[in-house]
């Protein structure tokens, strides 16, 4: 295993084509960033053509917004849009030297994606996972070339959040790590190298904040009281706004993936699980998306879990 610390920058590989598996909201956001910053072909794939089309259209719409804000000139705007394509045929990833996924947070699903990708891309290609709460080592355990595998964890909203966590799994080699750090730099993000531990660094802290906030509500503290009490901390969003931003399912998964290994340190919230499963919202918004208050469903849960 290479020594700890920053990898040798000179080992970073050049990326000339990016493959993205999963064309949902998160993937659309980082596909936009990859094409905008690396200016190389970006190919997206998903399980059906509809999802692929929506993903590509989503990237085009993001690029349109950047152009409308004057952040892309007309030449670049058209050139970048043409660089983004979609396919349901993963064999078109053969010449990608960097492929990253943002598919469902389930180990087996991700393992299947990467097992398949390894057969398609060249031996030197680097495979990256955007997982937020699964073990990168566990995903890598089925791979032929785990040394070419790394965690590359973006934050929501991708365009605005400055950080990427580069997860240095047990078998990740130095060239892969150096390339991931170089990619982050070229995306104009800051990056930290983290170990493969539940929540890496950021979600470990967030799981604490979000879990405690949910637990307070679950055990009888009114939602507004939690918000008002936390104001002096100067968080850019309340814990409940943040849960809604990342998606209740993702948020519930983050809590659960910390509670399972460390039940004494982290709370899970059955109420949050149920709200997530029901596709509920926490925040009531007006037609312009401005927050009006909290939804009835969310308010109903106050004090409904045993006070532990
Ligand atoms: N998507 C895309 N862009 C967004 C956005 C969104 N949801 N929300 C805001 N933005 C953009 C705006 O367009 C604006 O861009 P511009 O300067 O180019 O016009 C810029 O962000 C600032 O927006 P606003 O002035 O409207 O809003 P705020 O000053 O209130 O900031 C925020 C918005 C940056 C989202 C801020 O509230 C914030 O930092 N929130 C915390 C977000 C956070 O903690 N994210 C991490 C979540 S954890 C995670 O993702 C990991 C996962 O594994 C769970």
Ligand 1 atom 37: residue of nearest CA: 236
Q: What percent of the chain has pLDDT over 70?
A: 98
For the question of residue 153 being annotated catalytic, the response is yes
Say yes or no to pLDDT of 61 above 70. Answer: yes
Protein residue whose Cα sits closest to atom 24 of ligand 1: 160
* Residue appearing with tokens 């890598």: 140
Q: Report which ligand 1 atom has the smallest distance to the Cα of 206.
A: 48
Look at residue 5 in the predicted model and tell me its pLDDT: 72
pLDDT score recorded for residue 263? 96
State the ipTM, two decimals.
Answer: 0.94
Distance 177 CA to ligand 1 centre (A): 27
Spans of all domains in the chain: 9-195, 202-300
Residue minimizing CA distance to atom 17 of ligand 1: 160
- 263 phi and psi angles, rounded to 5 deg: -60, -25
- pLDDT tens digits for range 116-139: 999 999 999 999 999 998 999 999
Packing angle of the helix pair 49-68, 74-83 (nearest 10 deg) = 170
- 19 CA to centre of own chain: 16
Architecture of the domain made up of 9-195: 3-Layer(aba) Sandwich (3.40)
Q: Which two tokens stand for residue 156?
A: 């929501």
234 alpha carbon to ligand 1 midpoint, in Å?
15
182-195: per-residue pLDDT in tens? 999 999 999 999 99
Q: Is 235 in the pocket of ligand 1 (CB under 6 A)?
A: no
Residue nearest to atom 4 of ligand 1 (CA): 157
Q: What is the pLDDT of residue 164?
A: 98
Residue 148: CA count within 13 A, CB half-sphere: 20
Q: Show Cβ contacts of residue 131 under 8 Å, excluding neighbours closer than 6 positions.
A: 105, 110, 139, 151, 153
Nearest CA to ligand 1 atom 45: 156
Mean pLDDT over 226-253 rounds to 96
CA distance linking residue 81 with residue 15, whole number of Å: 18
> Could you tell me the distance, in angstroms and rounded to a whole number, from the CA of residue 190 to the centre of ligand 1?
16
**What span, in angstroms and rounded, lies between the C-alpha atoms of 130 and 174?**
19
Task: Indicate if ligand 1 lies below 6 Å from the C-beta of 163.
Answer: no
- Ligand 1 center to residue 237 CA distance, Å? 9
Query: Could you please report the per-residue DSSP string of the chain?
Result: -PPSS---GGGPPP---EEEE--SHHHHHHHHHHHHHH-S-EEEE-SSHHHHHHHHHHHHHHHHHHHHTTSS-HHHHHHHHHHEEEES-GGGGTT-SEEEE---S-HHHHHHHHHHHHHHS-TT-EEEE--SSS-HHHHHTT-S-GGGEEEEE--SSTTT--EEEEEE-TT--HHHHHHHHHHHHHTT-EEEEEES-TTTTHHHHHHHHHHHHHHHHHTT--HHHHHHHHGGG--SS-HHHHHHHH-HHHHHHHHHHHHTT-TTT----HHHHHHHHTT--SEEE-TTS-EEEE-HHHHHTTT-S---
- pLDDT band (50, 70, 90) for residue 4: low
Distance (Å, whole) CA 276 – CA 253: 10
Is the pLDDT reported for residue 3 higher than 60?
Answer: no
201 lines ligand 1 (CB under 6 A): no
Q: Assign domain 202-300 to its CATH architecture.
A: Orthogonal Bundle (1.10)
Q: Check residue 304 and give its pLDDT.
A: 95
Q: Is the peptide bond before 157 cis (omega within 30 degrees of 0)?
A: yes
Work out the percent of the chain whose per-residue pLDDT is above 90: 95
Q: What is the mean pLDDT of residues 256-263?
A: 95
- The pLDDT tens digits for 287-305 are 999 999 999 999 999 999 8
pLDDT at 307 over 70: no
In whole angstroms, what is the distance from residue 74 CA to residue 80 CA?
Answer: 10
pLDDT number for residue 6 = 86
What does DSSP say about strands 291-294 and 283-285: parallel, antiparallel, or unpaired? antiparallel
The DSSP bridge pattern shows strands 149-153 and 190-195 to be: unpaired
pLDDT at 308 exceeding the cut of 70: no
**Is the pLDDT confidence value at 45 over 80?**
yes
What would the mean pLDDT of 98-111 be, rounded to a whole number?
96
Residue 132 in contact with ligand 1 by CB distance below 6 A: yes
Decide: 250 in ligand 1 pocket, CB within 6 A: yes
pTM score of the predicted model: 0.95
Which residue reads 């610390």 in tokens? Answer: 5
pLDDT of residue 306 exceeding 90, the answer is: no
User: Among residues 153, 215, 253, 258, which one is catalytic?
Assistant: 153
């Amino acid at each position: 295993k290479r020594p700890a610390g920053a990898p040798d920058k000179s080992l970073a590989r050049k990326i000339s084509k990016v493959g993205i598996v999963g064309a949902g909201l998160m993937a659309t956001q980082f596909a936009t960033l990859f094409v905008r910053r690396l200016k190389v072909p970006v190919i997206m794939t998903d399980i059906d053509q509809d999802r692929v089309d929506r993903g590509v259209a989503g990237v085009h719409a993001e690029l349109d917004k950047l152009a409308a804000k004057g952040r892309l000139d007309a030449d670049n705007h058209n050139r970048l849009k043409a660089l983004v394509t979609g396919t349901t045929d993963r064999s078109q990833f053969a010449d990608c030297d960097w492929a990253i996924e943002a598919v469902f947070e389930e180990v087996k699903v991700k393992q299947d994606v990467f097992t398949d990708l390894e057969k398609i891309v060249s031996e030197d290609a680097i495979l990256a996972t955007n997982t937020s709460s699964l073990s990168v080592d566990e995903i890598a355990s089925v791979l032929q070339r785990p040394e070419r595998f790394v965690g590359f964890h973006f934050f929501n909203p991708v365009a605005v959040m400055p950080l990427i966590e580069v997860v240095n799994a047990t078998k990740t080699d130095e060239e892969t790590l150096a390339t991931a750090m170089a990619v982050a730099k070229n995306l104009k993000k800051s990056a930290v190298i983290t170990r493969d531990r539940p929540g890496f660094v950021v979600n470990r802290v967030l799981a604490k904040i979000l879990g405690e906030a949910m637990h307070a509500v679950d055990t009888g503290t009114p939602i507004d009281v939690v918000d008002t009490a936390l104001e002096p901390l100067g968080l850019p969003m309340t814990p409940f706004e943040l849960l809604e931003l990342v998606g209740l399912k993702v948020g519930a998964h983050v809590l659960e993936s910390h509670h399972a290994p460390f039940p004494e340190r982290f709370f899970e919230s059955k109420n949050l699980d149920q709200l997530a499963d029901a596709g509920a919202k926490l925040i009531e918004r007006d037609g312009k998306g401005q927050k009006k208050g909290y939804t009835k469903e969310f308010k109903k849960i106050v004090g409904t879990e045993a006070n532990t």
